Amino acid sequence: MIGTWKTFLCERVPGVRRFQRLPRQLLGKTPFAGDILPTRVPLLRFGSGRPSLPFPHPWNYREPLRILETYFWGADAEEGPGRHNRYLDVPGFAPVLVTRDPRLIRAITTETGDQAGQFDRDTLPSTGIARATGEDTLLYANGSFWRLQKKLAAPPFGKTTLFQPEQFYEFAETFRYTVRRRLDVLEAYLDRTGAPARV
C-alpha cells in the first residue's frame, strides 16, 4: 500500500522526485550502479584552474565546450572508469552523466529508442545545437525518427565506403551543401536579430 502511494506521489505530484534525491545528493552518494562508476564533478573548486563552472550560467552559456572541458578537468590523472565518465549532481536536479568512453557511447547509441528498457536521449542539452542545425537532424532527433536518421547517415562511414572515392565525394558534397544551407539560415537570423556572432 505504501509503495502504491509512493509511486502515485512520484508520478503525479511535481517536485517529489527532486525532494527524494536531495538527501543522497547532499551526502555525495552516487546515483549510478554497475561496473562503470563515474566520478562526481565538484560544483565549486577554488584555485583548481578550471576554465568554467560545470553548468551553464550567464557568463558561460555561449561556450558549451568550456563547460564540457570543466567536466573532465584533471581526469587524466585519475585511474579507472571515472577517468572517462563524469556526472554532475546539483541538489534538487536530476544528475547529468557525461562520457567520453567509446564502449559506453556505443552501448548508449545502440540501445537508444522508444521501446521499454531503451535509453531515451535527452534533447535539452542539444537545444543550442538544434537552433543551428535544425530539429530534424541526427544531433537532435529522438526515438524512431533518430533511428531513421542514424540508419541513413551510417553508410558513408562504413569501412569499405570510406575507401571508395566516388562514394566519399558524394557524401562530402552533400555535407558541404547542408552546412552551407544551415549557415545561410544562421546568417539570416543574425542579420534579422542583430545578435553578435561569437566564433
What does the H/E/C string look like for 91-140?
CCCCCEEEECCHHHHHHHHHCECCCCCCECCCCHHHHHHHHHHCCCCCCC
Assess contact for 53 and 70: CB atoms under 8 A: yes
Q: How far is Cα of residue 58 from the mean position of the Cα atoms in its chain?
A: 20
76 located within any domain: yes
pTM for the model stands at 0.55
171 located within any domain: no
86 located within any domain: yes
174 located within any domain: no
28 located within any domain: yes
Which residues have a Cβ under 8 Å from the Cβ of 51 and sit 6 or more positions away?
66, 69, 70, 73
Provide the greatest CA pair distance for the chain: 65
Which residues have a Cβ under 8 Å from the Cβ of 37 and sit 6 or more positions away?
30, 80, 81, 82, 85
155 located within any domain: no
Per-residue pLDDT of the chain (199 residues; tens, 9 = 90+): 566 767 776 676 767 777 777 777 777 788 888 888 888 888 777 777 777 778 777 877 777 778 888 888 888 888 888 888 888 887 777 788 888 888 887 777 777 666 666 665 554 555 555 555 666 666 666 677 777 877 877 776 666 666 677 666 777 788 888 888 888 888 888 888 877 666 5
Cβ contacts of 180-185, under 8 Å, gap ≥ 24: 182/132, 182/133, 182/134, 185/134
Instruction: Quote the number of domains for the chain.
Output: 1
159 located within any domain: no
- The SS3 of residue 146 is helix
63 located within any domain: yes
Structural domain range at position 52: 1-110
